[in-house]
Structure 1
Amino acid sequence: MTERDIFFVANEVNELGGVGRWQAQMARLLAERGHRVTVVGIAPANHPMDLGEPPFKTVTLYARRPPGRPKARRVLGPVDPAVRRHETHMRSAAGRLSELFRDARPGAMIIVSQVWAMEWVALADTAGHAVIGMTHESFETARKSSRFERVKKYYKDVDRLLALTQEDADRWVVEGMNNMGFMPNPLPIVPDTPSPRTEKVVASIGRLSHEKGVDLLLDAWAEAAPKQPGWTLRIYGRGEAEAELRRQCAELGLEDSVDFAGQTDDVPGALRASSLFVQSSRGEGFPLVLLEAMACGVPCVAFDCAPGVREIVTHDEDGLLARPGNTSELARHLVRLMSDEQLRDAMGDQALRSVQRFDPDVITRRWEDLFDFLER
């Protein structure tokens, strides 16, 4: 194995959320295998997570988040002073990236985790090192956002652009991105003991936001709960939609069977205290929490809202998938598993087996194979 200098460049070093957790895990995994890893953030995190004492170096380019790129006034065009000041600040910060990259040993790898960060990498001198871009969301989610055109603009010339699934990679190829590959996320946790699946608890874990669809979940629970009395839907998370979700819960008469449990720092513990996991998102990339639930032997019920979901959960084998937004179908799947202990156990055991294909060692070796390939 070749020991390398590896740079992760992202919007932030330690932002709470899926990309931040993935980045910290991969940086740690690669550092533990002898690589010299540096995580570079463009700006400080809005919601920082505690990295402890990581085995990698961290650098943040700005002391506070820089303003967005100003639109040039039509009369002045590119000579608009506001535009020129912004570009000067960007080039100054990109100069710090150039210094880091020039100090690296030959064969270094630059992994750009988010396209906003790529705007700075594009201005930097990458010193001949390979650049790997990443899109941590489904193609469909990107297509509906401003990131779609930015991915095509800023990642078109990188050495490799990685989607989360082959299906998403194929759709980017149709858009003219011929440098595509794909790389799944690694299993974020390897619990010592799985859930005994003895508690009548359905767990939901995620930010309380429109994208995560907890409003849809409450509608589904209103159909499912009366058919399986004694079960509790335990919702872990905080977010801007919490007050509205609590009102919806009360209006649906679900307060006796729904527990808003707040943010948890112990995801494995929350999963081991449940017998089912449910995800009702309107959109996803490659959801880590599905991997975590399966690693705890908890069968999942989810909306089939992205290729990453069906890449993780195999319908009718280790979990159940409903058509996106179809709350009645989601409710039927919940009732099916809530009412059948034998089926829950069979799917939970299969989930524990099938999720091993995302074992951290397996995924880390895939990354190292990619590094070797790009260096040839």
Structure 2
Amino acid sequence: MAEHRDVFIVCNNFEELGGLQRWVHHIGRLFAERGHRVHLIGITHAERAHDYGSDLPYATTVLYERRPAAKWQPRGALDRLNVPAQVRMARRRAGMRRAAARLSEIFRTGGPGSVVIAAQVWAMEWVALADTRGMTVIGMSHESYAATRSSSRYERVKTYFSGVDSFLVLTQEDADAWAAAGMSAAGAMPNPLHVHPERISSLDEQVVVRLGRMSFEKGQDLLLEAWAKVAPRHPGWRLRLYGSGPDEAEIRALAGELGLTGSVEFPGPTDDLETALTGGSIFALSSREEGFPMSILEAMAYGLPTVAFDCAPGVRELITHDVDGLIVHPGNTVKFAASLERLMNDAGLRRSFGAAARASVTRFAPHTVVDQWERLFTLLER
């Protein structure tokens, strides 16, 4: 039997309705079911909190009632004379020290074998200031190496996760890329399947489904461009875009500009995955960037074939092309449209792919993934 441990999971926030937050609550619950004592710690509150329930099997703490000021650094001599900015940064640093001291107090409640999991690099900035002596510290990135490499997060990841006991990403391909970049402690840990379908899609509904935050990296604009090529030839089919986000108004406007108002639906965000996914026959992932897309994992579990841009190793880890879905070169909306049409025109192919998808996701059964975590805890403690 695995040793029971104190596991502290630190993230930016655990309150939003997002993939990272779903993972935090799911893995926290799975650890608790194994007998571990789990504490979820958010740096800040979410702007829009989702109700994850009140009877949680783990403790929760939020360090800041109000989000701290964004980090600022002077770029030249004139900036150094910006007294208000300097004062804000002094207050920010003082606030970080107080929050890190509180984090240290929480960590000290843990017993031997305690583990800290910093699920995001911003959260790791506070973990790095806290007292973690005698604890195993694991850093994580939930996006692909390529996505991080092209962002400001790259140098921060290399700085803040450089001294952790293990730095986990979601696929071995990404772990190898980080190792080549100098992160010698890089390893892979997949997300566990977190849905348990009571029913699956009949694959008879003439609906293509997309779940995701409406933002540039999620590529709903690319999906609409592809749909504009498909919709005129398939008047009975609809594209259903679940979600909300900063680009929602622009995406709705684009649907109108492309003449798609009658074939595109915007039901808003939902946590009723079963209704959303069983109400469709094809899942579309049009993202520009991903890590290990939870939405594909969910769609496969409900028996939907997926058409996805090859935007991350996680897509290739989940989908076997021409077996349980179709993978398209990033940004190729013409090919994406053709792939949608291939499935729309062939109910037998949808059923074949859907059955293969359901079988494939058993690789990520919760007990299998938690076993991997517990083996890692034991290995790192030695």
Q: TM-score range by the shorter chain?
A: over 0.9
Deviation at 1:76, TM superposition (A): 10
Unaligned runs of 5+ in 1: none
One-letter amino acid of the structure 2 residue matched with residue 68 of structure 1: A
State the alpha-carbon separation in 1 of the partners of residues 235 and 309 from structure 2: 23
Check the 8 A contact 1:8/1:112 in 2, yes or no.
yes
TM norm structure 1: 0.96
Which residue type is aligned with residue 108 of structure 2? R
Partner residue in 1 for 2:171: 165
How far apart, in 2, do the equivalents of 1:304 and 1:261 lie? 26
Which of 64, 67, 70 does residue 69 from structure 2 map onto? 67
Written as runs of structure 1 = structure 2, the 5 A alignment for 1:262-301 is 262-301=268-307
Aligned to 1:145: 151
Partner of 2:267: 261
Is 1:372 matched with 2:378?
yes
Contact residue 14 and residue 24 of structure 1 kept, 8 A: no
Distance of 2:294 and 2:349 partners within structure 1: 24
Indicate conservation of the 8 Å contact 1:134/1:162, yes or no.
Answer: yes
Structure 1: distance between partners of 2:72 and 2:214: 31
Amino acid in the other structure paired with 2:23: W
Partner of 1:54: 56
TM normalised by structure 2 equals 0.94
Three-state SS of the structure 2 residue aligned to 1:39 is: strand
Match of 1:37 in 2: 38
Aligned to 2:5: 4
Aligned positions of 1:101-120 closer than 5 A: 101-120=107-126
Give, as a single letter, the amino acid of the residue that structure 2 aligns with 1:61. Answer: L
Q: How far did 1:84 drift?
A: 4.0
> Residues of 2 paired with 1:270 and 1:11: CA distance?
28
What is the CA deviation profile of residues 164-212 of structure 1, one whole-angstrom value per residue up to 9, with x for unaligned ones?
Answer: 1111111111111101101111112110111111111111111121111
Equivalent residue, structure 2, for 1:362: 368
- In the alignment, structure 1 residue 225 sits paired with structure 2 residue 231: yes
Residue 193 (structure 2) aligns with: 187
Distance 1:82 1:368, change over 3 A: same
SS of residue in 1 equivalent to 2:182: coil
Q: Which of 128, 131, 150 matches 2:134?
A: 128
- Change in CA separation of 1:267 and 1:125 when aligned onto 2, cut-off 3 Å: same
Kept after mapping to 2: 8 A contact 1:186/1:363: yes
The 3-state SS of whatever aligns with 2:175 is helix
Q: Comparing 55-64 with 11-20, which one deviates more in the overlay?
A: 11-20
How far apart are residue 264 of structure 1 and its match?
1.8
- Could you list the per-position Cα deviations for residues 288-322 of structure 1 after superposition, in whole angstroms to 9, with x for gaps in the alignment? 11000000001000111111111111110100011
Aligned residues: 374
How far does residue 250 in structure 1 lie from its aligned partner after superposition?
2.0
- Partner SS for 1:157: coil
In structure 1, C-alpha distance between the alignment counterparts of 2:58 and 2:336, rounded to whole Å? 42
Comparing 132-141 and 245-254, the one that deviates more: 245-254
Q: Is the 8 A contact 2:69 2:88 kept in 1?
A: no
5+ residue gaps, structure 2, are: none
What secondary structure sits across from 2:4 in the alignment? coil
- The structural deviation recorded for 1:128 is 0.9
Match of 1:264, SS state, is coil
State the one-letter code of the partner of 1:65. R
* Map of 1:15 onto structure 2: 16
The Cα shift of 1:85 comes to 3.6
Q: Distance between the aligned counterparts of 2:343 and 2:72, measured in 1? A: 52
8 Å CA contact 1:98–1:127 kept in 2: the answer is no
Pair 1:34–1:146, CA change in 2 (3 A): same
